[in-house]
Amino acid sequence: MTNGIDATQPLWFYDFVSPFSYLLLEQHDKWPGLPFVLTPVLLHELYRHWGQRVAYDVPAKRIFTYRYALFRAEQLGIPFRMPPAHPFDSTKPMLLSIALGSDLHTVREIFRFIWRDGRDPSTPDGFADLCERLNAPDGAELIARESTRAQLARNVTDAIALGVFGVPTFWLNKQLFWGEDALPMVLYCARTPNWLDSKEVKRITSLPSGLAKA
């Protein structure tokens, strides 16, 4: 049995393949003082659903993305080391996160294993070391459970229903805030939620497209 996402709560969607999810979680002390539910979703499934091209498929964009992640880390004073290969298959750590409850400590440790220590959790040795770090010797068994896999799939389905198209994404007051650099906007809207009801925000929210659909 899976648990559906409770959209009445503040949520935070992430995938361990995303360096910007790591950078944003490392700024957790700056987040609004609300009980955000950390919710793992597979980024490639979001891309597939919305028909988006994966950023890492565009060579120049891939290079810029890695450089910008490093720049942001240095700017923020956050330890950062790319894993040996990227993108990598994040399914195993995502399932492990779900199996262990996706609490702040677990999610943070997995992110740090990858993006602070520069490890690849998708390899047999990397995953074994991650399980040891999390004191989860039965990690391989946990991620093989149908209930664990079903929960991750349910998370993706429910996230798409909310309109989630990428990570990291905050869900607050029934609105989406995407990207590590959206934190100031999240903080502002947490303090001033009526800004989203302002005349100009409403106008640009309903702008028609000037291009015909293909």
**Class of residue 140 by CB neighbours under 10 A (exposed 0-12, middle 13-18, buried 19+):** middle
Residue 126 pLDDT grade (very low, low, confident, very high; cuts 50, 70, 90): very high
Is the pLDDT at 186 greater than 60? The verdict is yes
pLDDT for the residue 54: 85
Q: Using alpha carbons only, give the angle 5, 10, 12 rounded to the nearest 5 degrees.
A: 75
Identify the H or E element spanning 130. Answer: helix 124-133
Average pLDDT over every residue of 185-204: 95
Is the pLDDT at 11 greater than 80? The verdict is yes
Average pLDDT over every residue of 5-19: 97
Going from the N-terminus, what domains does the chain have, and what CATH number goes with each?
Answer: 11-197 (3.40.30.10)
Is the pLDDT at 114 greater than 70? The verdict is yes
Residue 86 pLDDT grade (very low, low, confident, very high; cuts 50, 70, 90): very high
Which residue type does 17 have?
A: V
Q: What is the mean pLDDT of the chain?
A: 96
Which residue type does 191 have?
A: R
Residue 212 pLDDT grade (very low, low, confident, very high; cuts 50, 70, 90): confident
Q: Give pLDDT tens digits for 40-66.
A: 999 999 999 999 988 888 999 999 999
Is the pLDDT at 7 greater than 70? The verdict is yes
Torsion from C-alpha of 27, 112, 35, 65, nearest 10 degrees: 60
Measured in degrees and rounded to the nearest 5, phi and psi for residue 44 equal -65, -25
pLDDT for the residue 214: 55
Residue 102 pLDDT grade (very low, low, confident, very high; cuts 50, 70, 90): very high
Average pLDDT over every residue of 200-207: 95
